[in-house]
Amino acid sequence: MPFAAIDRRRFHYQDTGGPGPVVVLSHGNLMDHSMWQAQVAALRDEFRCISWDGRLHGRTEDDGAPHDYWDSARDLLALLDHLGVEQAALVGHSQGGFLSLRAALLAPGRVRALALVDSAAVAWPTPALAQMALVAEGFRAGGPEAVAPELLGLLLGPRDRHPDLHRTWLAGWQRQPRERLATAVGVLMGVDDLAARLSEISAPALVIHGEADQPVPLDLGAMMGEVLPGARPLVTIPGAGHTPPLTHPEPVNLALTAFLHSHAHPTADAAG
């Protein structure tokens, strides 16, 4: 089980290895590296795929303290250093997109391409913050069972449509301490607004978004696609909610593979 020791933390990651261009896949809030299994399977013949668990998630070992997504972006860049990787394409779902955008601002020369799945570049409106506060308190007071029926529905769609996914991710939450889950939601609530800085990110970019996403509505993804200078046409996944890499892997894989084939290789024209 590979770990990278970075600043008194041990980050768990999976690395397919090989000589291909590097693609780093960063998971959403309350998820972990395993959410990308279908994408890694589709990409690994052409790319070296690195998926990892961020602070407060999965098997990564940390102090449980709050942080922000600039810290997470630095974690990602430090993981690249640990693995001896100079440049990579970054793929991020939801909070994974938050940290990938910030990595592109902190170290633009290290980001060959950027794919953002059901993510955003703005701070949360007040109603969303109030809902997240209830989720955090639900984890803290009642554990995963207290929040799972509603929250998993928001993340994965109806239970009767994706029963195996609901069971898998509830079991994953049950393996985590309640306070860790609550703190992770608190970090999500603190995301700062990047909308005014998107024009600084010149890397080729792809925005993929579930048509029926409730936590991060489609118009927030569309806004990034309009403002990012290197953005390709928005890819909308019909019928998908917040986590199409899990619920609708085939169209996500199709869009990602085509984009990365064109823009993740060293010979790709970064100007598009």
pLDDT tens-place string over residues 211-228: 999 999 999 999 999 999
Rounded CA gap, 181 and 139, in Å? 6
Residues 136, 186, single domain; the answer is yes
CATH code for position 27? 3.40.50.1820
pLDDT at 178 over 80: yes
Rounded CA gap, 27 and 9, in Å? 18
Residues 17, 71, single domain; the answer is yes
Residue 272 lies in a domain: no
Residue 84 lies in a domain: yes
How many percent of the chain have pLDDT more than 90? 97
Chosen domain end from 144, 167, 190: 190
Rounded CA gap, 194 and 203, in Å? 16
Instruction: Taking residues 141-168, report their average pLDDT.
Output: 96
Rounded CA gap, 170 and 262, in Å? 37
Of 262, 33, 240, the C-alpha closest to 118 is 240
Residues 222, 92, single domain; the answer is yes
**H/E element, 41:** helix 37-43
- pLDDT 10s digits, 106-121: 999 999 999 999 999 9
Residue 271 lies in a domain: no
Instruction: Taking residues 170-199, report their average pLDDT.
Output: 98
* Domains held by the chain: number: 2
pTM: 0.96
pLDDT at 61 over 70: yes
pLDDT at 182 over 70: yes
1 falls in which pLDDT band (50, 70, 90)? confident
